[in-house]
Amino acid sequence: MNQRPNNSLSLSDNDSFYSPSDDFAQQARVSSMTQYRQMHEMSLQKPELFWGAEARELHWFTPWNQLLNWESPHAQWFTEAKTNLAFNCLDRHLEAGLGEKAAILWEGEPGDTRAISYKELHQEVCKLANVLQSSGIGAESRVIIYMPMIPEATVAMLACARIGAVHSVVFGGFSADSIRDRIEDSGAELVITADTGWRRGKTVPLKENVDKAISSNSQIKKVIVYQRTNTPVSMQAGRDTWWHDEMASAPGQHEAAKLDAEHPLFILYTSGSTGKPKGILHTTAGYMVGTYTTCKYVFDLRKDDVYWCTADVGWITGHSYITYGPLLNGVTQVMYEGAPNYPDFSRFWSIVETYKVSIFYTAPTAIRAFIKAGDEFIKDHDLSSLRLLGTVGEPINPAAWHWYYETIGNSRCPIVDTWWQTETGAIMIAPLPGATPIRPGTATQPFFGIDAAVLDENGNPCPPGVAGKLVIQKPWPSMLRTIYGDDDRYRDTYWSDYPGKYTTGDGAIMDEHGNISIVGRLDDVLNVSGHRLGTAEIESALVAHPLVAEAAVIGAPHELKGEAIVCFVTLKAAESQSPSLSSELREHVGQSIGAIAKPDQIYFTSGLPKTRSGKIMRRLLKELVNTGEITGNLSTIEDPHVLEELKATVLGVSS
Ligand code: PRX
């Protein structure tokens, strides 16, 4: 039964590869590396065969006449086809007689529960689709969804997809300013939110944040408010309506729109290397086929699985592996509203036990928090239903991997370390659990149809073991189509390093077996608890504070979060520095972006190291914080004296 460490594949370093157990492999969809290699080769050589076969498992109102129309860097997949994602997530299963199957087993943070069948979910989605249409929302109208982790978030996304409206989900932890930016950039007309949501026993003021975001903005015509906690909120007559009132009179039948394959599906904002988040645009058919196929193979789904992805629908993982991938596959999934440590660190394990979760997908940052909390929160829970574990969002350090494998998986569940991005829409590099030998901390092999390479500055493949830039050399169905409203930025950011190839922004190393390990971001993007934050975004929030003249933000290793946010700040007037200024600036950043962006450390300094052309030399700050020294090339620095002060500040004084 146990996974057997397979040292014959071990490289020169210490960590061995773990091959799938015979039991697991025998029942898996892909059960050997030979099979994986044949299928991978075929998927690259004959994409029509591979993607065509996968796509035909789904429903199409009109079939495609060409798999791919590629005019770099713009792709159209499944050209001329007509389909509907919500139809494929719901109606298709009803037609197959699966209406009574549980789609969502939901648990609220206070302990309330709901089981929602595919039939019930379909009914709710149809009703909301009718509500949206009668509110004047049509194909391509943009809708902001700012919701807690409740089934209605999924209903809202699917209702948009059903009528062809473009959803833009804003993570419930983001601030009013972040909502406002996203409303303005997307040109949204309607917001779906809740009175408040639960988080660690407290309520999160969702409706209040929406009110602040749209107070000076008339483009939002309607706000639909779900009553989650019954907290009183202000309702503006003529603009705000209650979800339950709207749904009470809405018909439960709705004919899904027959949408073009390239019909826009959603915009999801993510951080880049400038101050302004990028609106990543995904479209219908390619995203549908990509999430369906990756979910099926990477999680090796079976009919009776109980699948649980612990992400939030506000991030891409929640889009692809809570809302779309699992529902396209007709699986039963668990959805949990609250914090992993509420009321204590046993919450996740009691959920696994109660619902008999068989596939569990989470982030390394959560795993590290559980390790720190101690194994006593786990030992009383029966985790024997688990058969497969997954991770996403950041590299998993070997110590966390081993704990996850042994303590949660009881040394019998494969771990799929899945590498992908908001932009890629679906998993790109990951083991196939019945086939791929796994090495802790390594995302391993590219998925079918994915042509991944690690290149040097000249575009040549790096030799095995040498780090370079991770690129994808061919288009894939679930790829982003553009940055909403900024196609030039799309070309510059992703397609300008090597002609015709997609630059991921990540560094990676490939070994002689083709296994890929992710080294981390190469641009000014931090990965804090598996979430992307641009250093420029935090810097612009800091300099918007009236006392701040300049700011430089860097990442430093953090035991739990992966990366910590470290800020260097110069003030307009040195005398304005007060003992409370650090916490004031932390709050200020929290207000302008969201709590996840609050700095961990703020150093005040009279100057920042700059080049003669005035560019802040963040690499020196990074080196100083990470090693306590500055040894790098200093020839371009304008004023070397600032370094002495910085050293004294970082090594001696803490903010
Ligand atoms: O740096 C990589 C890291 O997360 C980035 C993408 O972030 P985001 O668009 O927010 O999507 C996160 C969830 C898919 C990547 O550029 N990353 C993601 N997964 C992994 C990872 N780094 C290492 N290993 C992973 N499995």
pLDDT, tens digit, 9 for 90 and up, residues 265-324: 999 999 887 778 999 999 999 999 999 999 999 999 999 999 999 999 999 999 999 999
CA of 601 to the centre of ligand 1 (A): 24
Q: Which band of pLDDT confidence, cut at 50, 70 and 90, is reported for residue 217?
A: low
pLDDT of residue 575: 87
Do residues 11 and 282 lie in contact, with contact meaning Cβ atoms separated by under 8 Å?
no
The strand pair at 222-226 and 190-194 is best described as parallel
- Residue 10: pLDDT band (50, 70, 90) is very low
d(CA 316, CA 321): 8
Mean pLDDT score, 360-373: 95
pLDDT digits (tens, 9 = 90+) for 414-445: 999 999 999 999 999 999 999 999 999 999 99
Which pLDDT belongs to residue 651?
87
Among positive and negative, which fits the CA dihedral 420, 167, 91, 351? positive
Instruction: State the distance from the centre of ligand 1 to the C-alpha of 536, rounded, in angstroms.
Output: 19
| pLDDT at residue 7 greater than cutoff 50 | no
Beta strands in 238-364 (DSSP E): 240-242, 259-260, 264-270, 278-283, 306-309, 332-336, 359-362
What is the Å distance from ligand 1's center to 529 Cα? 11
Looking up tokens 């970082």 gives 650
**Residues 568-583: what's their mean pLDDT?**
92
Residues in the chain: 655
Residue 580 burial by CB count (10 A; 0-12/13-18/19+): exposed, middle or buried? Answer: exposed
Task: Give yes or no for residue 190 CB within 6 A of ligand 1.
Answer: no
**Residue 230 clears pLDDT 70, i.e. is over it:** yes
pLDDT at 2: 45
Contacts of residues 621-629 at CB distance under 8 Å and 24 or more positions apart, as own/partner, are 621/552, 621/554, 621/566, 621/568, 621/646, 622/554, 622/555, 622/556, 624/650, 625/554, 625/556, 625/566, 625/650, 626/556, 626/557
Amino acid letter for position 524: D
Is the bond leading into 151 cis (omega within 30 degrees of zero)?
no
Mutational test site, ligand 1, from 418, 469, 518, max ligand atoms within 8 Å of CB:
518
How far, in Å, is the centroid of ligand 1 from the Cα of 392?
A: 7
Domains recognised in the chain with CATH numbers: 4-84+264-521 (3.40.50.12780), 88-257 (3.40.50.980), 525-651 (3.30.300.30)
Q: How far is the CA of 419 from the centre of ligand 1 (A)?
A: 6
Share the mean pLDDT of the chain.
Answer: 94
Ligand 1 binding pocket includes 394 (Cβ within 6 Å): yes
Locate 468 and state its tokens. 């370079």
pLDDT at position 655 is 40
pLDDT of residue 15: 57
Q: Which of 289, 361, 287 is nearest to 329 (CA)?
A: 289
Check whether 94 has a pLDDT greater than 60. yes
Please determine, for residue 611, whether its predicted confidence score (pLDDT) is greater than 90: no
- Residue nearest atom 15 of ligand 1, based on CA coordinates: 421
Biggest CA-to-CA distance, the chain: 74
In angstroms, rounded to a whole number, what is the distance separating the alpha carbons of residues 324 and 330? 10
* C-alpha to C-alpha distance for 596 and 615, rounded to whole angstroms: 27
Q: Does residue 72 register a pLDDT over 80? A: yes
Which ligand 1 atom is nearest residue 420's CA? 14
